[in-house]
Amino acid sequence: MSAPPVERTDVEVESRDRAKPRRRLDPGRAQRLGLLVVIAVLVISFGSASSAFYDQQLTIFPLLRDISILCVVGLAQLAVMSIGHMNLAVGRMAALSAMVMGLAYQELHLPLYAGLVLGLLVGAAIGALTGWIISATGVNSFVVTLAMDFVLLGLVSLVYAQFTTSAAFTVKPAGMDELRKYSLADVCLGPVCGSPAVPQLFLFTVVAMLAVGWLYSRTRVGRELLLVGSNIKAAQLSGIPTGRRVIGAHALSGTLAGLAGFMLAVTAGSFTATIGSEFMIPSFLGPVLGGTLLTGGAVSVIGTLLGTTLTQVIRQGLTLLGVGLESLNIYLGAILLLALSTGRIRTVLSERKARTSR
Amino acid sequence: MTNSRILETAPPLLAAERLVKEFPGVRALDGATLTMRAGSVHALLGENGAGKSTLIKALTGLHRPDAGTLEVEGRPIVLNSSADAVRAGVAVVHQERNLIPEFSVAENITLRQIPSRRGLVDREVMRDTARRCLDLLGLDLDIDAPVKGLSVAQTQLVEIAKALSTESRVLLLDEPTSALTMAEADRLYDVVGRLRDQGRSILLVSHKLEEIFAHCDTVTVLRDGSSVLEAAPLSSYSTDEVVDLMVGRSHTAVQFAPRPTPTEGPAALELDGVATAGGHQDVSLAVRRGEIVGLYGLVGAGRTELARAILGLDRLTDGQIRVNGEPARIGDVRSALNTYRIGYVPENRKEEGLFLDQSLTMNIAVTVWERIKRAVGYVPRRKERDLAADYTTRLGIRSAGTGQQVSTLSGGNQQKVSLAKWLAAQTEILIIDEPTVGIDVRTKAAFHELIWNLAADGLAIVLITSDLPEMVTLADRVGVMREFRIAGWVDNDDHDYGTVSRAVIDLIHAREPASEPTIVRRHRPRPDHPGRQARDSTNSSSVLRGLSSGKQCGETRWHVWHRASSHRCRTLAGWRFLGDVRRGGFPDRPFVLATERRG
């Protein structure tokens, strides 16, 4: 079939309402640039306030380790945010995966990475189940994942009570301790392979970021996920299998949550039931600060890293300056509020702009 | 009518003078004038898009007219909100229901101004007000019963009572009888007559001309946003004269170069006696390559629903769809696109056709990723961008580049994007639903040429439009749909507006058949109820027994959907169910398709 020959001049009658080309920086990129500037300013000011902030062993290494874990948590949330959903069970999914890993190491004596893969598969399965429930029932993801959170909370506690005495799997497969302590400098002799301030766990984050970034920017499935988030009706009428995409997004979220659970367990040194209980709020902070829309249709992987970095730098810096835990939470709450409002502020601003330009 | 003569000298209750309302690219009202006098029933007529609903919105403060004046009882007035209209004594009953099903009749009637004492709802005053409003209509309803248990006709009357609760003297009724049976409509017109005798003024918008002629005193006819007949006594006009005024003789269809219309080979898309779970009955049509087949009808006639059924979004209960002569089983849009090469440009481009916050590339390439993807689902960016750029230039989409967000394009360009993805997908059959709604006249003409040329290039096109001139310009044949059936076909070989539009309007306004098809659907299955058999056994006579013994649908849990207006619950008492009964629906929500006749 050939397309219609309509390049005649009489078709082009819309010159008066032709949109003017925009030369401005697109808002997402501007937001990420802003984040980078804020982070730089904070790092410099915290550093000048207390030189301990630049201590590679005591500050930077644990800071980057926390960022690594929470960035993966953020990516887990980003996966469902791309279709306009939420995953309130992100922490408990991490707990479930970590539990399966701990069980595998203790009962099956699996090697480190075999246990990891098993845990990730369970994470993917629980995510897929959640997605299936959402797409089959049409119930809001908020409600379904909240319910899933409770179910998993009970399940995970039950299993730990059954298999352990101290509510933790303490059997460590070979390589786990090294993974916790080692930095890039330990990959090879000398400072060739990287700085001693960068933990090896960060490599997991890099792999996850590359995979998720590639998915959303280069593949058909990633694009279709974004379109489902953008307008699910139009997506369905354009031939996108929306049900399958919803399930896929949640499965990806579960997998990434499982990875974060693994990373936290490695850091903590044991697999406990409380893994992931602190994940939920940071999981939103990172992506939303970085420009991922709560309403779906736009994601930013780099932004997630930057957003997570910002919150962790603030937390670490304020702790160093001697701010108590309670007031720390007030600051973080304020940041969350600001982050969650940015999306709305952005739409209001662009709507106002559209109105004045009309 | 005697009343209206006596009051002729008094200033009109409501007068709109030369109202103008412009939307981007469209002049919806262009000097519309309407004069409503006390004690009369006034008909407002006009074809789809003539400006009736815009006029009603202007009269009720939802739209602010760009020019012209409004007067209430001789005093000029400016309406900035619907609350202003209520204060001025103008109330409207819209076509769609606006009641809260869980609330009682009394609560619904007083919803606009709930009487309160010290911050608490004053139930006594509320019930008094409600009873007074119902008395005005001569209605005897349980004011404490929830609205969800009422029949359609009763909810309609409650809406009118609600409109009266604000002391309104002018009442606007938009298609009040579209969901009612004839007996129910008669009841409604009794009430309308009573209100007229009370000295109120009623504006009636209806497509049922017989009802208009039976119950209205004066008439205003709108065409292209202006009044072509203004507050004229209806008795001095015949139905034919009014239809002529509605249609107008001024339209001369644009003629394009004739297309070769192939007559050989199987049709690209053929529907043979199709019935759907949505309620279509015995729909047959055939489109060949290079042909444009039109589907005309009023809103709610089932045209869009038919398109959705063809795409596999609604289940077929009978009949067959054939693509290129082969029987087709279309499960979803993806298989419609990939296996049968059918595309659908939806009516509501912003909600269903486009991803507004995404780029042109994303919007156009969505249908081709399947084709251009490589290993592991990798889509080369260059390739999709080139493809999008190609169709952007071919369709003359004005943009700053394929990266531009679609929400920043004009309506006409957006519609082209909505079409472009199906051309990019190389579809062979295209269903285009209301292609030019909200698009200015010049772009419209360009769009018509575009559709025409697509057909000339060999696409089979099903065109759904409520714009009659557009239909006459483009279609080779026009199927007129009414109540989920095809009421008849009109040949449009000469593209002559006068004859074709007459034939089409005659088909639309034909009298309702005596036997009116109805869908019966049972909510929540209940084991002790005869309705269970609708799912468990093929024995239709037991189903019929279950139905004919039904009482109020609220009690028996049989839900009856009127074909033309879904989600309506109707009383089953006194109906006999004849003929053919079909089972259908989802496993957990069975329904029976029955032919109903009131006994």
**Phi-psi label, residue B495: left if phi above 0, alpha if psi -120 to 50, beta otherwise:** left
Tell me: the pLDDT tens digits for A313-356? 988 888 888 888 788 888 877 876 776 676 567 667 766 665 55
B134: number of CA atoms within 13 Å, CB side?
Answer: 21
Dihedral, B363, B369, B370, B376 alpha carbons, nearest 10: -140
Confidence of residue B517 (pLDDT cuts 50, 70, 90): very low
- Per the structure block, which two tokens stand in for A66? 């926390």
Find the mean pLDDT for residues B427-456.
Answer: 85
B294: part of which helix (H) or strand (E)? strand B292-297
- Per the structure block, which two tokens stand in for A313? 């730098």
The CB density around residue A99, as the number of other CB atoms within 10 Å, is 28
Per DSSP, the three-state class of B298 is coil
B533: number of CA atoms within 13 Å, CB side?
Answer: 13
Rg (CA), chain A: 23
> 3-state SS string over B473-530?
HHCCEEEEEECCEEEEEEECCCCCHHHHHHHHHHHHCCCCCCCEEEEEEECCCCCCCH
Tell me: the pLDDT tens digits for B466-509? 888 888 889 999 999 988 889 889 988 888 887 888 888 888 77
Whether the CB of B410 is below 8 Å from some CB of chain A: the reply is yes
Answer yes or no: same fold for B2-247 and B269-508. yes
Domain locations in chain B? 2-247, 269-508, 516-598
Per DSSP, the three-state class of A271 is strand
Best mutation target among A6, A218, A295 (most B Cβ atoms within 10 Å) is: A6
Q: Return the pLDDT at A325.
A: 78
CATH architecture of B269-508: 3-Layer(aba) Sandwich (3.40)
Highest mean pLDDT: which of A68-82, B469-483, B578-592? A68-82
DSSP for A20-35 reads: PPP-SPPHHHHHHHHH
Best mutation target among B367, B379, B384, B450 (most A Cβ atoms within 10 Å) is: B379
Residue B575 pLDDT > 80: no
B226-233 vs B326-327, strand pairing mode: unpaired
Q: Return the pLDDT at A236.
A: 92
**Nearest neighbour of A2 by CB, restricted to B354, B366, B457:** B457
Nearest CA distance, B215 vs chain A (angstrom): 42
Query: By the 8 A CB rule, do A308 and A282 touch?
Result: yes
Residue B570 pLDDT > 80: no
Query: By the 8 A CB rule, do A103 and A163 touch?
Result: yes
Round to whole Å and give the CA distance between B242 and B270. 37
Cβ separation B454–A4 shorter than 8 A: yes
Q: Which residues of A touch B419 (CB under 8 A)?
A: none
Tell me A107's DSSP state. Answer: I
Tell me: the pLDDT tens digits for A43-64? 998 899 888 888 888 889 999 9
Burial class of A358 by CB neighbour count within 10 A (0 to 12, 13 to 18, 19+): exposed
Round to whole Å and give the CA distance between B126 and B144. 11
Q: Return the pLDDT at B295.
A: 94
Q: What share of chain B is helix, strand, coil (3-state, %, to 5)?
A: 35, 25, 35
Round to whole Å and give the CA distance between A349 and A347. 5
Cβ separation B426–A1 shorter than 8 A: yes
Q: Return the pLDDT at B198.
A: 87
Q: Return the pLDDT at B417.
A: 93
Residue A72 pLDDT > 80: yes
- Per the structure block, which two tokens stand in for B198? 């009370």
Confidence of residue A98 (pLDDT cuts 50, 70, 90): very high
Buried b (16+ CB within 10 A) or exposed e, A172-183: bbeebeebbeeb
Cβ separation B25–A237 shorter than 8 A: no
Residue A150 pLDDT > 80: yes
Least confident of B222-236, B253-267, B421-435: B253-267
CATH architecture of B2-247: 3-Layer(aba) Sandwich (3.40)
In this structure, is residue A304 part of a structural domain?
no
Q: What percent of chain B has pLDDT over 90?
A: 24
A112-137 and A90-103 are packed helices; what angle lies between their axes, rounded to 10 degrees? 140
Check residues A337 and B40 and name the one with the higher pLDDT: B40
Residue A219 pLDDT > 90: yes
Number of domains composing chain A: 1
Round to whole Å and give the CA distance between B261 and B254. 18
Tell me: the pLDDT tens digits for B120-173? 888 888 899 898 888 877 778 888 888 888 877 788 888 888 888 887 889 999
**Nearest neighbour of A5 by CB, restricted to B362, B398, B453:** B453
ipTM of the complex in this document = 0.82
Q: Which residues of B touch A220 (CB under 8 A)?
A: 369-370, 373, 377-379
**Nearest neighbour of A218 by CB, restricted to B346, B379, B396:** B379
Cβ separation A220–B409 shorter than 8 A: no
Dihedral sign, CA of B533, B535, B541, B546?
Answer: positive
Q: Which of residues 238-257 of B touch A (CB under 8 A)?
A: none
Query: By the 8 A CB rule, do B432 and B451 touch?
Result: yes
DSSP for B236-286 reads: G--HHHHHHHHH-S---PPPPPPPP---SS--SEEEEEEEETTS--SEEEE
Of the candidates A262, A246, A285, the one whose C-alpha atom is nearest the C-alpha of residue A207 is: A262
Whether the CB of B419 is below 8 Å from some CB of chain A: the reply is no
Q: Which of residues 370-389 of B touch A (CB under 8 A)?
A: 370, 373, 376-379, 381
Q: Which of residues 268-297 of A touch B (CB under 8 A)?
A: 297
Q: Which residues of B touch A14 (CB under 8 A)?
A: 398, 410, 412-413, 443
Cβ separation A3–B457 shorter than 8 A: yes
A210: number of CA atoms within 13 Å, CB side?
Answer: 6
Round to whole Å and give the CA distance between B593 and B583. 6
Of the candidates B460, B377, B392, the one whose C-alpha atom is nearest the C-alpha of residue B424 is: B392
Round to whole Å and give the CA distance between B103 and B92. 20
Q: Return the pLDDT at B46.
A: 82
- Per the structure block, which two tokens stand in for B81? 């909100």
For chain B, the average pLDDT equals: 78
Domain of A161 in residue numbering reads as 63-176+193-277
Q: What chain B residue is nearest to A241 in terms of C-alpha separation?
A: B334
Cβ separation A3–B423 shorter than 8 A: yes
Cβ separation B453–A235 shorter than 8 A: no
Round to whole Å and give the CA distance between B96 and B174. 9
Of the candidates B442, B70, B458, the one whose C-alpha atom is nearest the C-alpha of residue B261 is: B458
**Nearest neighbour of A219 by CB, restricted to B367, B378, B426:** B378
Whether the CB of A81 is below 8 Å from some CB of chain B: the reply is no
Whether the CB of A322 is below 8 Å from some CB of chain B: the reply is no
Q: Return the pLDDT at B4.
A: 45
Residue A154 pLDDT > 70: yes
Find the mean pLDDT for residues A152-158.
Answer: 94
B317: part of which helix (H) or strand (E)? strand B316-323
Confidence of residue B529 (pLDDT cuts 50, 70, 90): very low
Round to whole Å and give the CA distance between A160 and B565. 56
Q: Where are the alpha helices (DSSP H) in B78-235?
A: 82-87, 105-109, 123-136, 152-164, 182-197, 209-215
Cβ separation B410–A221 shorter than 8 A: no
Cβ separation A19–B344 shorter than 8 A: no
Q: How many CB pairs under 8 A join A and B?
A: 146
Query: By the 8 A CB rule, do B598 and B181 touch?
Result: yes
